[in-house]
Structure 1
Amino acid sequence: MTPSRAAVSKPPIDPYAAPADFGPWRFLHRLNPLSKIAAPLPAMALLLFTRDVMTPLVFCLVALALLVIGAHLRARTLLLLLLAVPAAVGVMSVSFGIWADPAASADPSVIVDAGPLRLTVGGWLIGLATALRLAAIVLLALIGGLTSTGPDLVRSLVQQLRVPYRLGYTALAAFRFVPRFGHELEVIRQAHRVRGISDGRGPIAWLVRTAGYVVPLLAGAIRHAERVALAMDSRAFGAHPTRTERYSIAFRARDWFFIVGFWAATAVVVIVFAS
């Protein structure tokens, strides 16, 4: 007798559980979320003012190396980073290079000349630098985005930066609305299919169906917000200056090492390449 699908399915992931230990190599998951925001922040700010190609390229490679080595990523996410990012940089470099000012380019040699669309070597280098800057900023932001969760970030803000827990955990409750909306939307769609409600096919029909989901979703959101508010009031939420945490997220020495090391590497890259 084969087991049912429910018996062999994995248990649901608790978003409020302590972060799992992924081993010594997946070190990014064991860092405080605030350290993964503070470490690449100077590099992201400096990339807005750089105009060369090597500086954003080095930051792209550093961010990719950190994500590949230090993050526990699914194969699909890893493949997307390694293939989609270079492809996007290539497309954006050509797009930006076509619209670059020819007078601002150092090399006027023509690569493509198709009527009004004219791509020169200098224009392509300008477009490549711009595309690499955008890619580097996104990849640096993904260091914390792919290895931290919303609840952990809120807890770090409350515990380390002393954000009032009334604000932090209200945002955490709002964060939990997102997956609930997805679940309720799927329930509404199934109910429409069971009742045979169909408005045809095509983009207009899709817009009509989407508009029909708004009122049930809004009603469900109001009911859920009312239940959350009653639950928070019954537990005297906000009546005391502090609250007991389910688990703590510490800011350890390794977080300082990561921040200082990343800042030092940023200074070296800027001094060597940007200058």
Structure 2
Amino acid sequence: MAEEEVAIARMSHTAFAERMKRPAVILIPLASQEEQGPHAPMGDFLLTERLAEMSARAGDGLCAPTLPFGHADFFRAMAGGIQLRAKTFCLVLEDILSSFLDHGHENLLIFNGHTGNAPLIDQVCRKIRRERGVLIPSLNIWQIIPDSLWTELYGEDAGLVRGHGGEPMTSVDMHLLPELVRHDRIRDPGPRGTVFGLPIKGVSGSRFEGLPVQIPLDCTEVDANGMLGGLASRAGAEKGRTISEHIVGHTARLMRHLVAFDPRHAVTPSSEATGEGENHA
């Protein structure tokens, strides 16, 4: 017996309508087209797309087509990337979400594979809540890996392997897209320069007297190879399998949990507000 289709892009409109007669959470996958170091494909949306479909299948839900472009000005210095302006990203995301909400499909879960999208996702979801009364939760899929799993996979190096160009995406690439990984080009981050005489620390800019200073640097100013942190040399396909299984399992469990709730009435207040000046003696 063939598996039921979960990717909306491959469904007819009648098949979609029939499937939505049963409760379902719809994943909204978001990602980016940006450098991931000299060894990995720039289309990191390929991983998000694959993981979203796997999660939808495991969670008895559906997944929308992946938005392959995100807000990624930090990576604009490297050719081949495609960046949306913040305003453009917000408008596109609102249109995507509205396309489902306009038809009464309100059980949505954003499946975000690019951290730079996160603050803009929050803006859009707050706007939709104000205007439509619908709560839309969001997952940053690369930040739902627990410390215990990092330690299990990398031991005492768990705190060193994480970072753009390093882990966890290199291992997941090796697992899901092995034909696209150039093992001979793997490089760990090199020495970094300075800005305003201060050490360059990465996306956050720098630090002065041990405290962060935000400076709008480009990725090439942090590392010429785009290795902004982490150790790609510690990556492996089996680690990628374990990480992928965790992301899919966690997302599927969340989908099964969310489908039981009405997104318009999902908040249970902790207590009743009290009027000013009431006597509680």
**Larger relative contact order (CA 8 Å, sep ≥ 6):** 1
Q: Which has the higher strand share?
A: 2
- Band the TM-score falls in, shorter-chain normalisation: under 0.3
Normalised to the residue count of structure 2, the TM-score between the two structures is: 0.26
Structure with greater proportional helix content: 1
Q: Which has the larger radius of gyration?
A: 1
